[in-house]
A and B are shown apart, each in its own frame.
Chain A
Amino acid sequence: MRSIFKRNQANHKAKTTEQVFLKQQGPNLSKPTILSETLEIIRKNTGNSTDLIIRQFQIDTADVSIDAAIVYLDGMADSTTIMDSLLIDGKETGIYRNATSDNLIQKLKSSLLKVGDIKTITDMDSIHIAIFSGDAIVLVDGSAESIAAGVRKWSERGVTEPQSQTVIRGPREGFSESIRINTALVRRKIKDPNLWLETNPIGRISKTDVAIMFIKGIANEKVVNEVRIRLARIDTDAILESGYIEEFIQDETYTPFPTIYNTERPDVVAAGLLEGRVAILVDGTPFVLLAPALFTQFLQTAEDYYQRADISSLLRILRFVSLFIALFAPSIYIAITTFHQEMIPTPLLINFAAQREGIPFPAFVEAILMEVTFEILREAGVRMPRAVGQAVSIVGALVIGQAAVEAGLVGPTMVIIVSITAISNFVIPSYSLGISVRMMRFILMMLAASFGLFGILVGIIALVLHLCSLRSFGIPYMSPFGPLDMEDQNDNLIRLPHWLQHRRPRYISQGNEIREKSTQPKPPEP
């Protein structure tokens, strides 16, 4: 367990973050002191983009009148406050009159601009990055320095209910596309200075803000470092969604199973952080990554912790049962009806045999036909415009249903098998695990059609071996099943009541495991 991090560290001598992130094409120039030259460079480098606003004006200082300019992107910066300060307040309060050409920049920074986030920058690259991040740049003629004022403001989708992970009981807020809102949503749940946030831009062209969030003292330092290193290793032109990051930093690339958890829910992220996981927030997407992720995590929902323990334990077991149905139902049906008829109870066999009279295809072809049809329907349902959505359900009911049976294409049992498989698949709370299960199902069906139950067994063995070989940021993917950890079973297949969950998951928060010291609730003493 202790040595699992070594492999990654040895293979990749960590480059420092700066080296990678600040790579630029062409030499980095320092800003010219003459205003018109600076503006000329900006215009040239941006190709005179039409949303780039350059407002030039004059400042009458105590000695001379100085040319100045504000540069910002229309639609990404809120220019009113800064305009107010520069054009009106500067004259009215007399700050301009007290300033001289030498200390004008200082005066502006210290007493005029009504903006919280102010930086002084001197090179052209930084100016460009600042402009395209939505900052307003204040340039003054004759000064090597310029001011970047943080007035970013663009229209955003508000905090709405998450679409992918719905609950009956639990918070209804979901992440949105803005990283700032997202970090705030998490911070509101964990009000502790130990919740640390590190942001770096990733992507040579997109320069997307990617933040890692963890609780210092709970999160395993090695994992946090590993996340930092893996993020620093990314060298790509753009990050448009957290899925990019996921593919770049996962442990095992050739696997159908997700080894990094993604969620739209701030409460899930907060819970993950409190267990010692690291959250990776990407600007521009509501999907936040959580690492390390375990297999069992993909079968748990936020609501498991909000409903009573007994109910959620039963629901979890139900989900595991559904997982097995979704994986094995069609393949077991194929195997038993084509190889092991002796295993079917006689009356059922007679019914099966009667249904199969006059069906032209072997059971395997029949199953593939129905499964593929269902996958097509599902994909159509996801991609279609909402307005035509109803058409899919009507057609779907025809294709996978009585009509298919009456047409003599498939038997009624196969319709039931495909339907229960599909419904079971939807019970898996994580969409990404659901997709893996769908793929595995087809492979198992082929094995079943070729070798019967023997083939399914070989498939299961291969599947289990593969799952046990996976790791997520060095943590065994199948833990706490394998390696079996009895203490971690308190929140695995079943969820014990909160007052019994004294420890955090051992494999994730190494070193700081004690979560609480609660005792069983009691009625008052008489």
Chain B
Amino acid sequence: MSIRTKAVWLLLVVIELFILTGCWNRRELNELSIASAFGFDKKKDQYQLTVQVINASEISANKSGGKRLPVITQQLAGGATIFESMRELTKTTPRKIYSSHIRIVVIGEKLAREGIAPVLDILSRDHELRTDFYFIIAKGTKAEDILKVLTPLEKIPSNKLYSSLNSAQNSWGVTSKIDLHELIFDLVSKGKDPALAAIKISGDPEIGESQKNLDSVHPPVTQEYDGMAVFHEDRLVGWLNPFESKGYNFIRGQIKSTIVTVGCPSGGKISIELLRENTKVKARVNDGKLNMEVKIQAEGNIGEVACGSEDISNPETIKGLELAANKEIERMASASITKAKQLKSDIFGFGNAVHRSHRQLWYPLEKEWDEHFVHLPVNIEAELSIRQTGSVVESFLQKMKGD
């Protein structure tokens, strides 16, 4: 190719670049409505979609005084399918809803009881979604109401839901975050049923959606995580309370850190802060009978000593505390197993454990696993070791009493 032809080609390409600028999926930031949360409800036989849209210019840092507009707006639309209702939204929103940045998906209790699977397909099919958002279930209310509430401190309510879900799991262990992939995996897998974090609203949601909720030091309306929602297949069947949720997390090995409280022999309480936790779930066959073995290993520090006469510098006392804590953990775990058995929902994935270790045994059980699960003996063994006692050894309470 001569230089002249080369130059002509290059020129053509460059001209083309300018013409093609603005090809099909180019969009400027100010043409987007950034959605931060989706809520799904069922109203009669229609799906109702709630979208929390961020009002970017209100949230951005360089905003001078004057009257503040709400940081989010809520858009509602209904349709026979989710996709239909998403497109219905365009009738009310000025801009295209951009859903790559959603943090949370709330599903109303009514829809959850009917089955969540139809909702999930579009979420996994649509290319725009990033799949790193978490699912929560609105307990005793509609998703719409949960997404209505304005929150102090965290300006974007869905961010509040996202981060307090994170912190509740990481440092308290009473909720469980689950993203789209995990949820679909649980739904598809025969040996595990999903369990999702549950959220409830305290106070009147009508007040929660107004600026009034932010004007008070003590916000009248708050969203609050409250245990977990237990599913069987894709239907909500019951709830775990926080105590049972903690037990669930122990069995699933999802505890990052939590507090285990044990009583002192002499009255009062001692809190042990768990720092590491590791669980092994094994299916064993004894005399042709299947049973589960759950081994919980944990390490922790003494975080608080609220009893007078305990000498925690004594290794014997520490031993005693460890035993008491083990009992407590086992109690939590068995409480959650009892509840799950009542609801006939294998949220712990015991079925998967059987599948993994005893493949031959699993296939005949697979069909009626729910029934087998209810009668499955589970042996729980906790083993906590206390490493440190904090920055003091003896509590000053002891000295006070000593006088």
Give the interface of A toward B (CB within 8 A).
Answer: 254, 337-339, 341-342, 346, 349-359, 362-364, 446-447, 449-452
B34 touches A359 (CB 8 A): no
User: Can you list 5 A-B contacts with CB-CB less than 8 angstroms, sorted by A residue number?
Assistant: A342-B100, A351-B60, A353-B29, A450-B17, A452-B26
> Which chain B positions have C-beta within 8 A of A338?
26-29
Contacts of A451 in B (CB 8 A): 23
CB neighbours (8 Å) of A355 from chain B are 60
Q: How far apart are A199's CB and chain B's nearest CB, in angstroms?
A: 35
Asked whether B14 lies within 8 Å of A446 as measured between CB atoms, the reply is yes
Cβ of B73 to closest chain A Cβ, rounded Å = 14
A357 touches B18 (CB 8 A): no
Complex alpha-carbon distance, A281 and B26, angstroms: 52
Q: Which residues of B contact A357 (CB under 8 A)?
A: 30, 56-57
CA of A338 to CA of B29, assembled, Å: 7
Question: When chains A and B are docked, how far (Å) is the Cα of A349 from the Cα of B27?
Answer: 14
Is B29 within 8 A of A356, CB to CB?
Answer: yes
Query: How many Å lie between the Cα of A355 and that of B61 in the bound state?
Result: 10
Select from chain A the residue with minimum beta-carbon distance to B54. Answer: A350
Q: Tell me the bound Cα distance from A450 to B21 in angstroms.
A: 5
Count of A-B residue pairs with CB < 8 Å: 77
- Bound together, the chains give a CA A451 to CA B21 distance in angstroms of 8
Contacts of B128 in A (CB 8 A): 342
- Chain B residues near A450 (CB, 8 Å)? 17, 20-21, 23
Across-interface contacts of A446 in B (CB, < 8 A): 14, 17-18, 21
The answer to whether the Cβ of B188 comes within 8 Å of any Cβ in the partner chain is: no
Most buried by B among A338, A342, A354: A354
Interface bits B2-36 vs A (CB < 8 Å: 1, else 0): 01000000000010011011110111111010101
The answer to the question of B130 belonging to the interface, with a C-beta cut-off of 8 Å to chain A, is yes
Kindly identify which residue among A254, A341, A362 contacts B100, using a CB–CB cutoff of 8 Å: A341
Tell me the minimal C-beta distance from A361 to chain B in angstroms: 9
**Do A353 and B32 have beta carbons less than 8 Å apart?**
yes
> B101 contacts the other chain (Cβ, under 8 Å)?
yes
Q: Is B243 an interface residue (CB 8 A)?
A: no
The chain A residue sitting closest to B103, CB to CB, is A346
B90-148 residues with Cβ-Cβ distance < 8 A to A are 98, 100-101, 103, 128, 130
Q: Which A-B residue pairs are the 5 nearest by beta carbons? A: A354-B60, A342-B100, A353-B56, A356-B30, A354-B56
Which chain A residues border B56 with CB–CB below 8 Å? 350-351, 353-354, 357
CB <8 Å contact, A364 and B21: yes
Chain B residues whose CB sits within 8 angstroms of the CB of A353 once the complex forms: 29-30, 32, 34, 54, 56-57, 60
Question: Knowing that A447-B17, A449-B21 are A-B contacts, what are 9 other residue pairs whose CB atoms are under 8 Å apart, sorted by A's residue number?
Answer: A338-B27, A339-B26, A346-B159, A350-B59, A352-B29, A353-B60, A357-B56, A362-B22, A446-B18
| Nearest CB of B to A438, in Å | 17
Q: Are B3 and A254 in contact (CB under 8 A)?
A: yes
**Which residues of chain B come closer than 8 Å to A363, judged between CB atoms?**
28-29
Shortest Cβ distance from A366 into B: residue: B28
A350 x B34 contact (CB < 8 A): yes
**B166 vs chain A, min Cβ distance (A):** 14
Interface 1/0 per residue, B31-73 and A, CB below 8 Å: 0101010000000000000000010111111000000000000
> Do residues B34 and A351 form an inter-chain contact, with CB atoms below 8 A?
no
B3 to chain A, nearest CB (A): 7
